[in-house]
Structure 1
Amino acid sequence: MRPNALSIPRSASARHLPAVALLAATVLMAAVMPAHALRVKEVASVQGVRTNQLTGYGLVVGLDGTGDQATQVPFTTQSLANYLQQMGITVPASAQSRMQPKNVAAVIVTAQLPAFAQPGQTIDINVSSMGNAKSLRGGTLIMTPLRGADGDIYALAQGNVVVGGAGASANGSKVQINQLSGGRIPAGGQVERAVATGLQQGDTVTLNLNSVDFSTAQLVVQAINGRLGDGLAQAIDGRTIEVAAPAAPSDRVAFIARIEELALTVPTPAAKVVINSRTGSIVLNQAVTLGACAVAHGSLSIVISTTPVISQPGAFSGGQTVVTQQSEISVAQTPSALVQLPASPQLTDVVRALNTLGANPQDLISILQAIKSAGALNAELEII
């Protein structure tokens, strides 16, 4: 590994260096990025070892009058009638229209089936109301089949719903903490069918990197071939790596375990700025650098003031008192000076330079986009 120029302290002796030497050191600091050690299991996963999404439709019963309103959610009444029919109780069609099951709510049930899950194992269940139920607190989910993408049943769900919120209402007043229309059933699902995996099939095991990076793919190949044998691994592309594996199941599991524990010195990822346009959040990774630029950002505010004006008619005129609105509109623009931002080769310098603008996160999003368009922001902008 090359010596890291970032280890040069800004001591008193460094301040006496010529300006040209300091500029060269700054360019070298920006070019040489620190690396960090990771294991293979933290940058890649074994192909085929994955979870599967399950979903189902069910009913939550035992609610204290906080269930669905039958007049607005007719499928709840229909589902309840179908369930009763399966239990041997027939409800006439004329009576179904008069049912008011305020203690029942129609819900969507979701779960994740872990890799290698076997029949009899339990999984956690998420329950979400799909009608107008006020709360699922205190309810019980009756047996609900959970299906996969192929339509087959892989698990059954049932149990008491745990709701993390609370609320109360009376005489038009209402108070609520957290969400009441969704809950969770810990270990409420039971696996009924296992999902076959191709881990033991073929002569190779495929590793998939978490993100496309040719440098990381080459480092994984070098680590495997250097520690376990030359020629075992080869990179197919920037994400896929094929590794020759033993045929015996126990040997293959031990072989994969050894691969996952191999240490890597992964280089710093590509410079990226992630912007959440909905919340105004901005995240910069350590590779972001900033070139010298000048920024001026002003704010325009429009204020509308409305004053009620009462028009009173004369005495005995027979007129009526009229209330009118008088509005005043004023426009103010805050002056802003041109701020010069120096070149910033480190993340701390970039943050310090952006803080000098004194802009809020929403304004900072526009500033970063403008700096990127000007070619002074050495990073990729990603808006989520």
Structure 2
Amino acid sequence: MSKKILLKYVFIMFSLIILNTHADKIRDLITIQGTRDNQLIGYGLIAGLNGTGDDTTNIPYTVNTLKNMLAQLGIEFSSEKNIQLKNIAAVMVTAKYPSFIHKGQKIDVFVSSIGNAKSLKGGILLMTPLRSINNQIYAIAQGSITVNEQHYPQNLILSNSDNQYNSGKIIDGAIVEKEMSVNFGNKKIVILQLNNEDFALVQKISDKINNQYPNSSIALNSRTIQLYTPKNNTSQVRMLSNIQNIEIDLPVQDAKVIINTKTGDIVMNREVKINSCAVAHGNISMIINDAKHHRRHFEPVIYESSNHLKEINNRSDYYNENEVKYINQAVNLNNIVHALNSLGIKPVELISILQAMHDVGCLRAKIEVI
């Protein structure tokens, strides 16, 4: 077998015990209308780079930004000569402005190069105003940048984009200078919004709320609940606090598999089921069969290439010039992916195989590729 390629997988399993339902708190299922984050954006300059900044010959706006910044500090220099600097970079700065935050509190900011800088590692973002959609300044950002650097095993084959040095984060990198107005507590009606539309779940949440606060809740549609509350901040806070802590037995979820084509990550929920099928890809074969057709239970086993007869679970099958993976149908997609991984399947090939399994009805789940 050729050298194995290590794939990175993320498997999120909601439970190791097979159950039809599980309990979550309402706080994890809904958001309260009017208590959302707001987006902030700004244009800034990073200094202190070790020769990895913008090529200012081709990116003139970086130098213009520096000139304007120095002019505000009372420093002027002639622009007749072409200035070539490699220790600065022009960046866009973004942040989320949380609801109910106050002046003086800090928020995280993210920076992304908009020029041709090779790396922002070791750089410092100079004072940058952050604005909202109304063009008003709500925060000021400044600080040292931590780049998006990931550490991989030595035997993993990396592409040029696996480590992104042209973007980064500054923890607590912006100070809030202005507060946004919030109308919370001014009305008797509060709207609860379900994170994912579901008629059964939204009605169940409404019923649970009415059990604790009679006639206070109405389900308007598959995502919205109208809640009648006292017109008072303190009373609303107490009521919403109690409601958020109510536990809900969730109905069976739709089986779903999410595949990230860039990273090779695969995320699935526990509802994903596998039917009997056979997969042939190049010189690799995999068989998923129903255990009830065999005399005894078996675990996944790799059978190396050969020309002689193989006896598998008291059955005789011929496999010529193939590596065979034999898998019990009772296993989940996690086992299938590990089986394919052990046979040297590459990420792109794996995605194609899973999509083909879905198309023929072997993989019973919705597949979302991102």
Q: TM-score, normalised by structure 1?
A: 0.68
1:55 counterpart letter in structure 2: I
1:220/1:264 contact within 8 Å kept: yes
Give the equivalent residue in structure 2 for 1:198: 183
How far apart are 1:33 and its partner, in Å? 5.2
1:272, 1:381 within 8 Å by CA — same for their partners in 2?
yes
> Which of the residues 26, 49, 59 maps onto 1:40?
26
Larger displacement relative to structure 2 (81-90 or 335-344): 335-344
Q: Displacement of 1:147 after TM fit? A: 1.0
1:69–1:335 CA distance, 2 compared to 1 (3 A): same
Output the CA distance in 1 between the equivalents of 2:367 and 2:148.
37
1:108 to 63, 68, 92: 92
**Counterparts of 1:367 and 1:266 in 2: how far apart (Å)?**
31
Q: What is the deviation of 1:252?
A: 0.8
Q: Which residue of 1 aligns with 2:212?
A: 227
Q: Which amino acid aligns with 1:201?
A: N
CA separation of 1:336 and 1:242: change in aligned 2, threshold 3 A: farther
Give the structure 2 partner of residue 305 of structure 1.
none
Is contact 1:124-1:186 (8 Å) kept?
yes
Residue number in structure 2 paired with 1:151: 135
CA drift at 1:83: 1.7
What is the Cα deviation at residue 144 of structure 1? 1.1
CA distance in 2 between counterparts of 1:184 and 1:355 reads 34
Check whether the contact 1:125–1:184 (CA below 8 A) recurs between aligned residues: yes
Cα distance, 1:80–1:277 mapped onto 2, change above 3 Å: closer
Corresponding position of 1:12: none
For 2:27, the aligned partner's letter is K
Q: Taking structure 1 as reference, are residues 300 and 138 closer, same or farther at Cα in structure 2, changes over 3 Å only?
A: closer
Query: Residue 329 of structure 1 corresponds to which residue in structure 2?
Result: none
User: Residue 282 of structure 2: which of 282, 286, 299 is its match?
Assistant: 299
User: CA shift at 1:127, angstroms?
Assistant: 2.6
**Counterparts of 1:233 and 1:135, CA distance in 2:** 53
Task: Name the counterpart of 2:6.
Answer: none
Listed as ranges, the matches of 1:86-165 within 5 Å are 86-94=72-80, 97-163=81-147
Secondary structure of the 2:249 match is strand
**Root-mean-square deviation over aligned CA pairs:** 3.3
Question: C-alpha separation between the residues in 2 aligned to 1:352 and 1:251?
Answer: 51
Within 5 A, what are the aligned runs for 1:331-346? 344=330
SS at structure 2 position matched to 1:220: helix
1:381 maps onto 2:364 in alignment: no
Corresponding letter in the other structure for 2:145 = V
Residue aligned with 2:240, SS: helix
The two structures have a TM-score, normalised by structure 2, of: 0.71
Asked whether the equivalents of residues 149 and 163 of structure 2 are also in contact (C-alpha less than 8 Å), the reply is yes
Aligned to 1:249: 233
Q: Give the drift of 1:35.
A: 0.8
Shift of 1:364: 4.7
Count of aligned positions? 304
Q: Distance in 2 between matches of 1:382 and 1:89?
A: 54
Q: Equivalent of 1:60, from 33, 46, 51?
A: 46
Aligned to 1:284: 268
**Unmatched 5+ stretches in structure 1:** 1-31, 167-176, 302-333
Q: Quick one: structure 1 residues 271 and 185, their matched pair in 2 at CA, closer, same or farther if it must change by over 3 Å?
A: closer
Alpha-carbon displacement from aligned partner over 1:138-160 (angstroms, at most 9, x marks no partner): 44322211111222211111233
The corresponding residue for 1:273 is 257
Any unmatched runs of 5+ in structure 2?
Answer: 1-17, 151-161, 285-319
Shift of 1:376: 4.4
Partners of 1:132 and 1:164 lie apart in 2 by 17
Counterparts of 1:354 and 1:120, CA distance in 2: 49
1:356 Cα offset (Å): 7.2
Cα 1:374–1:342 change in 2 (3 A) is: farther
Partner of 1:49: 35
Distance between the aligned counterparts of 1:241 and 1:37, measured in 2? Answer: 20
Deviation at 1:214, TM superposition (A): 1.5
The more displaced of 109-118 and 137-146 is 137-146
Give the match for residue 82 of structure 1.
68
Q: Which amino acid aligns with 2:85?
A: P
Q: Which has the larger radius of gyration?
A: 1
Relative to total residues, which structure has the larger helix share, 1 or 2? 1
Instruction: Work out which of the residue numbers 174, 187, 202 in structure 1 matches 2:172.
Output: 187
